[in-house]
Structure 1
């Protein structure tokens, strides 16, 4: 079995970083086609060139707005794994093709590894905003893998639309980044979460 195949299969377990809390569900507003959340997962290890970067899309993203800002929730079993059009938009770092078999394997292993029945959601809740105009500092509470952490990031605000990125380190949430063959192939600890929201 080639290192690339080992990496692609092993990466499925590395995606376990997306488990959310097992809290009781809140009434969910309809999913908006104008709201987007993507998670970028990067290859690592001394033979990283044999692997692939991955992008995950929260296909059922639900957004609730409060005084401090939005709360974002999405279900693990609704993640879109490496949508071709999205990979193409992300440029050369995501140019390698992913077939349906690889996507299906990723999904099956992800749900199993995360015990998705007990941990169905990932939650990001804005707590406060600092600043005015087009750039805001936002403090958010991120619940991932049964662990909740607070962190700051910068959001761009244009009228009712907000865009931003935050970096999430798996190890901060008690997750050991995937690695195989003594570190030859791995998933990097840091993930990039990108979002674009439209306030009603």
Structure 2
């Protein structure tokens, strides 16, 4: 009997505004905000090692984020990088040498970007303490998915941090030349500065 009363036209006019009011009153921050890919940066740094490493170069690589979103309230972060658009910067390097490094990075020895088009991250949990976060999630790279944890700090609407990963963990053998006397370290340093769109 009670349900019939609530569903009658007389009472419908009462509960519809209440429901709409509850929806409208949800805070704006409790939403998924797209990442501003134009103003966000993700940089990979590869370092040299080996007996004759003094004759080799460290590498700075741009890894543009193509899509993604952040939802602070839900503790959710996800983004994707198009591996084919990753670019070796190395401003001090000879242009022809830089092009060689670029082609080798995108080729089958390293990223194999024609097979593995995307690098993705999808968070599983987020721990927060004031403006600091520890983001746990799954990183997929070179056809391998592994759990990682990243320390993130929030600064004026931007999310910044640095973490490291090992190439071998994702099935990539660090490049080695001259019989191993010059090679790239297994460990890469990843720096990010991510901003959400208004």
Alignment TM class, shorter chain as reference = 0.7 to 0.9
- CA distance in structure 1 between the aligned counterparts of 2:168 and 2:35, rounded to whole angstroms: 33
Q: Which structure would you say has the larger RCO, counting Cα contacts within 8 Å and 6 or more residues apart?
A: 1
**Number of residue pairs matched by the alignment:** 160
TM-score by length of 1: 0.72
Alignment match, 2:155: 158
* Greater radius of gyration (CA): 2
- Give the direction of change, closer, same or farther, for the CA distance of 1:102–1:59 in structure 2 (3 Å limit): farther
**How do residues 18-37 of structure 1 correspond to structure 2 at under 5 angstroms?**
32-37=37-42
Alignment match, 1:59: 64
Give how far 1:158 is off: 2.3
- Helix, strand or coil at the partner of 2:190: strand
- Helix, strand or coil at the partner of 1:106: helix
Alignment match, 2:79: 72
- Give the direction of change, closer, same or farther, for the CA distance of 1:64–1:30 in structure 2 (3 Å limit): closer
- Helix, strand or coil at the partner of 1:171: helix
- Partner residue of 1:109 out of 97, 104, 111: 104
- Give the direction of change, closer, same or farther, for the CA distance of 1:127–1:172 in structure 2 (3 Å limit): same
Give how far 1:30 is off: 8.5
Give how far 1:31 is off: 6.1
Q: List alignment gaps of at least 5 residues for structure 2.
A: 1-33
Work out whether residues 174 and 184 of structure 2, in 8 Å CA contact, stay in contact via their aligned partners in 1. Answer: yes
RMSD: 2.0
Work out whether residues 90 and 98 of structure 2, in 8 Å CA contact, stay in contact via their aligned partners in 1. Answer: no
Work out whether residues 60 and 79 of structure 1, in 8 Å CA contact, stay in contact via their aligned partners in 2. Answer: no
Alignment match, 1:82: 89
Work out whether residues 69 and 196 of structure 2, in 8 Å CA contact, stay in contact via their aligned partners in 1. Answer: no
Give how far 1:33 is off: 2.0
Q: 1:51-79 CA distances to partner (integer Å, 9 max, x unpaired)?
A: 00001112354222343332121112211
- CA distance in structure 2 between the aligned counterparts of 1:115 and 1:136, rounded to whole angstroms: 32
Give yes or no for the alignment of 1:167 onto 2:164.
yes
Q: List alignment gaps of at least 5 residues for structure 1.
A: 1-28, 85-96
Q: 1:26-48 CA distances to partner (integer Å, 9 max, x unpaired)?
A: xxx79622111000000011111
Give how far 1:110 is off: 2.9
Alignment match, 1:22: none
- Give the direction of change, closer, same or farther, for the CA distance of 1:159–1:128 in structure 2 (3 Å limit): farther
- Helix, strand or coil at the partner of 1:32: coil
TM-score by length of 2: 0.72
